[in-house]
Amino acid sequence: MISILIPTLNEAGNVDPLLARVLKVLDAEGMDGEVLVVDGGSRDGTQDRVRAWACSHPVRLVQSGGRRGLSGDILHGAAAARGEVMDADLSHPPETIPALVGPLLAGTHDVVIGSRYVRGGVIRGWLWTRALASRVATALAWPLVSVRDPMAGFLAVRREHLLDLGREAAGFKTTMEILARGDDALRVKEDPSSSRTASAAGRSSACARRPRT
């Protein structure tokens, strides 16, 4: 079984299309999965939208309060998850979920990253300033890890490795924290992925407190 973690903060307008796409993929692939929407304290009706889906679909609302940033939200959701874990949002295509989860289910890898910086990876709609900042941050991280996109926000990871971060994890770069702590013991794979800006993905502007590189 896989657990798909979707961190939210005031994303009522995105919940319905995102959950529809994720559940469609799970059904089409015949995957045994659940969707956990980990909410950091939304006040725009996001939680009500999630509860509506939970009535008739494998969807659960997990309220984290957002006290430790995105990483804290993800760990809060992982503690409630029943299977392997994925972090996803509407800036990445849910249709690539099977490709990311497959190596974990096959037992060949511990972490699969949806990478923007391997051959086939795509970035759309970014301002040049954001693209430059991302490249600089990624380059600074390379001496510490052995992957091309350690700042990626779209990944699949075995639940036990995520929970190993413990209460110390905080901030917004869960992938980097997992890789830095796991060192060379983790079997890591990068698959090409696409990333879009918040506006291109239809995300709410109220998500600004969750910065991305």
Question: What are the DSSP E strand ranges found in 90-172?
Answer: 111-115, 122-124, 155-157
Sign of CA dihedral 43, 44, 48, 54: negative
Q: Return d(Cα 196, Cα 102) in angstroms, integer.
A: 23
Chain centroid to Cα 123, Å, comes to 16
Query: What residue segments make up the domains of the chain, in order of their start?
Result: 2-197
Q: Is the pLDDT of residue 31 over 80?
A: yes
pLDDT in tens, 122-163: 666 666 676 677 667 666 666 677 787 877 778 888 888 877
Task: Provide the pLDDT for residue 130.
Answer: 65
Give the β-pairing of 194-196 and 155-157.
unpaired
Element housing 59 (H / E): strand 59-63
Task: Provide the pLDDT for residue 209.
Answer: 29
What topology is assigned to 2-197 in CATH?
Spore Coat Polysaccharide Biosynthesis Protein SpsA; Chain A (3.90.550)
pLDDT in tens, 90-99: 567 788 888 8
Task: Provide the pLDDT for residue 45.
Answer: 94
Whose CA is closest to 151, among 121, 120, 172? 172
Question: What average pLDDT does the segment 1-28 reach?
Answer: 91
Element housing 114 (H / E): strand 111-115
Query: How much is the mean pLDDT over the chain?
Result: 77
Query: Residue 98, Cβ neighbours under 10 Å: how many?
Result: 16
**Owner of token pair 């309060």:** 65
Q: Is the pLDDT of residue 204 over 70?
A: no
Question: What average pLDDT does the segment 4-10 reach?
Answer: 89
pLDDT in tens, 46-98: 999 999 999 999 999 999 876 767 777 888 888 888 887 665 545 677 888 88
Query: Residue 125, Cβ neighbours under 10 Å: how many?
Result: 13
Task: Provide the pLDDT for residue 58.
Answer: 95
Task: Provide the pLDDT for residue 75.
Answer: 83
Task: Provide the pLDDT for residue 44.
Answer: 94
